[in-house]
Structure 1
Amino acid sequence: MKIAIFGGSFDPVHIAHETIVEVALKNLDIDKLIVVPTYLNPFKTSFYLEPKFRFELLKKVFLPYPNVEICDYEIKNDKVSYTYETVSYIKSLYKPSKVYFIIGEDNVRNLHKWYKIEELKREVEFVVATRVGFNQNIEDFKILDINIDISSTNLREQIDLKFVPKAIQEDILNLQKGRKIE
């Protein structure tokens, strides 16, 4: 079995995340794609949407995709999780012959800071989803050509439904009504 893991905060999930999954399913030779939302990214101090809510949003967005699974491993840990630990956990479950790990181009510049990065590089093949406004040195990576000009940070600052997957637009609208969007 060949798998791809797509980890991130997904805070909130947006159309670029959905496009990354679609392009990965089409272009990577995989049997399953596992989306893993973080409880809290090790490089951040807080989150915008509660982890369990982000998990539910991801389930709604990716329910129609038969080869996609949403994994709550990091959320259940209820603490900062490291990719190396998550990959080890998923590998113990599936015993895959190949593991791709999908990251956004914005993460390439800090990859050297990741916990146990040298060990992780031996465990997975990193795949980089290109992103507008980033010109990282990515020729050594397998590439997913995405280039959608949106980020979760920008979406938190100004919710624009054209960047929100249709499956969760109502959830986001309800969130806006009940919570001030800063």
Structure 2
Amino acid sequence: MKKVAIFGGSFDPIHTDHVNIMKACHEKLGFEEVWIVPAYVNPFKTLSSSSVTQRLEMINIAIKGLDFIRLETFEVRKHERSYTYDTVCHFQKSYPDIEFSFIMGSDQLDSFENWDHFSDLIKSIDFKVFLRSDVYNKDIVEKYNLETFTFENNFLSSTKIRNLEDLNLQIKEVNDYVNNKLMFLYERVESKMDEERYFHSLNVGQEALLLAQLNNYDLNKALVAGTLHDVAKRWTIDEMKSFIAKYDKSLLSEPEPVLHSFAGAFHLKYDWLLDDQEVVDAVFKHTVGDKEMSTLDMIVFCADKISSERNYPDVEKYRALVYSDLKTGFISLLEQQYNVAVKKHGPNSIGQKLIETYSYWVKGE
């Protein structure tokens, strides 16, 4: 009889340890197939951070080339809370010629007896428990005579991934997908910002999207760069300086109000592992620009200054300029920013980068 392991969970997102557990099922426990069954909504969670489509797409990315893994959408097709007992009954009834086991992580042992129809479930299928940490509920293991197994364990969790922890151990292609889809913004950005700054960031993302459309530029790249431009804006000055010092101490001589752009760029590159250098550069340059400004650099620079909530004098004039010609609008906004900075801080306190950018683009030097 064919042996199949059922592996359920939220997979929000799927990560390296999920895949390593499935590999161990196939390579060490002798299962011919592993059926990964994402839940529509985990019964013990009130909300899933990702859409069903996103989770399915991430799973397909993670299992590419692993022919022994089969993605089963039984639970997500139901569009309601998922219960393991219903899933097990469905598969056992639909495939009577298959011997099923159910895979679970040891972190689920504490709530195991609270699973729906538990007394029937524990009798209906064999459970295989993979040890996610050294500390687990041994009483439950002994009470139900559960088998436990080890695997190539990176001690990851979806919660850690959502909160930017241990991303170097995550599946790169899945992490790239998350970054490109701007997923988990609440955990990664909103919770570290005040509401006004968060909505400004969303507005800049939408403005950048519009400017990308007007300039025949990559829409998603513009949306990502615009939305994330102020990712470090609400860090303390000490946090910014400490972070910048790890990568380029020369930037510490720049004025404090612009440090968030440098810290944000480094944060995206080294903490988010965002490997699109064009996006990182656009975040880096969005406050004071540079002699070298790509289309994306100009889009994000301008979008930040003319986003929908901006209402300073002449903002409509600048919007019209940017919409009609991106480069002309950028130069006008740069000149305005330079003049405001000089008036507010004096010509000797506006930072070398803004002076260099202004000299090149406005004065033609």
TM value normalised by structure 1: 0.91
- Structure 2, unpaired ranges of 5+: 190-365
The match for 1:21 is: 22
Picking from 179, 197, 201, the partner of 1:173 is 179
Aligned residues: 182
The match for 2:303 is: none
Picking from 163, 167, 178, the partner of 1:161 is 167
Q: 1:49 to 1:178 in 2, by over 3 A?
A: closer
| 8 Å Cα contact 1:3-1:96 kept in structure 2 | no
Per the TM alignment, residue 163 of structure 1 is displaced from its structure 2 partner at its CA by 2.9
* Alignment of structure 1 residues 73-152 onto 2, 5 Å: 73-132=74-133, 134-137=135-138, 138-139=141-142, 140-146=145-151, 147-152=153-158
Per the TM alignment, residue 94 of structure 1 is displaced from its structure 2 partner at its CA by 2.2
| 8 Å Cα contact 2:92-2:98 kept in structure 1 | no
Relative contact order, higher structure (CA 8 A, sep 6+): 1
Per the TM alignment, residue 175 of structure 1 is displaced from its structure 2 partner at its CA by 2.7
Q: 1:133 to 1:53 in 2, by over 3 A?
A: same
TM value normalised by structure 2: 0.47
| 8 Å Cα contact 2:37-2:74 kept in structure 1 | yes
Q: Secondary structure at the match of 1:115?
A: coil
Per-residue CA deviation, residues 109-162 of structure 1 (Å, 9 max, x unaligned), is 111000111211122111111012532213522222034321111211225432
Separation in structure 1 between the aligned mates of residue 48 and residue 119 of structure 2, nearest angstrom: 28
Q: 1:91 to 1:176 in 2, by over 3 A?
A: same
Q: Secondary structure at the match of 1:44?
A: coil
Q: Secondary structure at the match of 1:119?
A: helix
Q: Secondary structure at the match of 1:89?
A: helix
Per the TM alignment, residue 45 of structure 1 is displaced from its structure 2 partner at its CA by 0.4
The structure with the greater share of residues assigned to strand is 1
Q: Secondary structure at the match of 1:80?
A: coil
Q: 1:3 to 1:160 in 2, by over 3 A?
A: same
Structure ID, larger Rg: 2
Q: What value does the CA root-mean-square deviation take over the aligned residues?
A: 1.9
The structure with the greater share of residues assigned to helix is 2
The match for 1:9 is: 10
Q: Secondary structure at the match of 2:35?
A: strand
- Structure 1, unpaired ranges of 5+: none
Separation in structure 1 between the aligned mates of residue 109 and residue 185 of structure 2, nearest angstrom: 33
| 8 Å Cα contact 1:39-1:51 kept in structure 2 | yes
Q: 1:154 to 1:169 in 2, by over 3 A?
A: closer
